[in-house]
Structure 1
């Protein structure tokens, strides 16, 4: 492979802001695997956000790149799985599998799409030093006739349209809106774009915690608090965790939570978390981490008696898509009142109305 921009490349990043800034180019924020795609003739490579190759997991996209993209190019985009109900991140996670036979089967059963939103190189030209408006114009020309499963993301400079996207596309499981400075150069691994995401609150049951990775016998530190919500069958489902605490607060939580630690003989809703069969019936913590099979997923179970309010962005199935953020303790709430019914239900939205042929 011999391109003006060579792998690995860390993609350009965005920083969170509360409102959509004026005077920018706006795009939907796709919820998938961020990748830089490198093509030099028959050589194709997808590099992930952490610069690890993703190519082997998506053979159908390798074929599509060779059929649809320019002979020599470097493109920034997102690998997604789209259905009639919107993006399916859980199905996308299943695509990361070590067995070739499984990868081949899933490529047929749950084919992925590649949404392109920036141009780093085309032919022998490096475009990273050009303003975004020039990169976008060149990208639109280069991908004018591209066909599924490769798609060019829609973009607009209309603030009102961006506002509608932020509201309407949540039902299709998109993350929010990205705002790109019109004169901005492509800066790998720099937070020079802006992201506007949905933020909501929920009251959750505290059901356990994990020790911080730096915790020792001499200095115990709480790493993350495990959150639960009751479903319609009155089962406490694991919905996520909060973990952004200072070192001082992590040490304080050890003493604060000690009265809730289970005594010998006490039962717990997640006591069977280590049994694989138990995970089939309900959402439990402790299952094998897909990204790091050696990661310790064990936790300290607590009597589910305290409630805390957290901020979250959106749901992935029955759990929070990203790490939630602690707001406050809610000692005025009973654990039994913390159910899924409190969660907002976003409006549904069809993806093919945004990008023709995507998720149809």
Structure 2
């Protein structure tokens, strides 16, 4: 079951049975299957359809504490020192063999369970979420489950959820809320939940565009590091027509020696599909609306263009690697 993005908390009656709020973790969505008569060992199944249990041997070893015939829905996260790290999770997910074993010690993984789809070989998809949650909490208490198994926190109190959205998302690895209905059944593939990412405003230097100079479609933005190199940090969603007209009137074609000459761009984060861009003089500063999901200083999701900052020069923009400022209100 999937979630559809929203900008704000929905009204109380938006989902069946009232709203339940959970933190949205910045990890890998996965289904976990424990052994059953038809299954010889634990299986981790990613949202994209890959079997990834071999990359997480620490979870495989800990699976002996789980009962057989269990199917959990949850989020894989990885720890680097004392904080969650998406980069560490990427390294874990790309590892195998001895490397996977070594990284399991250096960058331990946790499985944060937020739903149970089968227990004791009994399918629970048609049960309302409140009953599935009761089963999930009982599973943790009856079996004394501790790390790497984690029960996802939840609340039905709107004020608590608002506090989570405001304060918890300041912690690396937490990026917002997932909202579901207390009486909802589990509908695989259906976007029946809501998700809200905490958003911030910040600035980037426009270094390239898609489209053409007279008709820009999206912006590619960068920030300078301490050595003067311009790093790509964000790509915007498609510009609204009025914004595209305003930006077009300020763009200047790149002169020789542009910092991004010869670089290859792709259509999205983690994609290999090439993206055709037009380099422009890195003289404009754009204010953008971003979420908290960053990887090595760059925002993984497309950002929203707000406006050009006529009052700022490129040297006024935060240095590469510095975070965004919380949005007002």
Query: If the length of structure 2 is used for normalisation, what is the TM-score?
Result: 0.81
Deviates more, 1:88-97 or 1:29-38: 88-97
User: Which residue of structure 1 lines up, in the alignment, with residue 61 of structure 2?
Assistant: 63
1-side partners of 2:35 and 2:217: how far apart?
44
CA contact (8 A) 1:20 1:196 kept: no
CA contact (8 A) 1:209 1:225 kept: yes
CA contact (8 A) 1:12 1:186 kept: no
Deviates more, 1:316-325 or 1:137-146: 316-325
Q: Gaps spanning 5+ residues in structure 2: where? A: 13-17
CA contact (8 A) 1:166 1:176 kept: yes
CA contact (8 A) 2:32 2:72 kept: yes
2-side partners of 1:249 and 1:189: how far apart?
36
1:75 aligns with 2:72: yes
User: Which residue of structure 1 lines up, in the alignment, with residue 160 of structure 2?
Assistant: 161
State the secondary structure of the residue aligned to 1:268.
Answer: coil
2-side partners of 1:315 and 1:231: how far apart?
20
Distance 1:56 1:295, change over 3 A: farther
CA contact (8 A) 2:80 2:106 kept: no
2-side partners of 1:226 and 1:16: how far apart?
24
State the secondary structure of the residue aligned to 1:175.
Answer: strand
CA contact (8 A) 1:69 1:143 kept: no
Q: Tell me the matched-pair count.
A: 311
CA contact (8 A) 1:30 1:78 kept: yes
CA-CA distance at 1:318 after TM superposition: 2.0
1:304 aligns with 2:269: no
User: Which residue of structure 1 lines up, in the alignment, with residue 237 of structure 2?
Assistant: 243
User: Which residue of structure 2 lines up, in the alignment, with residue 48 of structure 1?
Assistant: 46
1:227 aligns with 2:184: no
Q: Gaps spanning 5+ residues in structure 1: where? A: 1-10, 275-285, 347-360
2-side partners of 1:295 and 1:221: how far apart?
22
CA contact (8 A) 1:58 1:103 kept: yes
CA contact (8 A) 1:203 1:307 kept: yes
CA-CA distance at 1:271 after TM superposition: 3.8
State the secondary structure of the residue aligned to 2:130.
Answer: helix
1-side partners of 2:234 and 2:251: how far apart?
22
User: Which residue of structure 2 lines up, in the alignment, with residue 186 of structure 1?
Assistant: 186
CA-CA distance at 1:193 after TM superposition: 1.4
CA-CA distance at 1:161 after TM superposition: 2.1
State the secondary structure of the residue aligned to 1:128.
Answer: coil
2-side partners of 1:83 and 1:20: how far apart?
34
User: Which residue of structure 2 lines up, in the alignment, with residue 262 of structure 1?
Assistant: 254
Deviations along 1:189-212, one digit per CA (max 9) or x if unpaired, are 22211222211222211112357x
2-side partners of 1:256 and 1:123: how far apart?
61
1:196-211 equivalent positions in 2, closer than 5 A:
196-209=196-209
RMSD of aligned residue pairs (Cα, Å) = 3.3
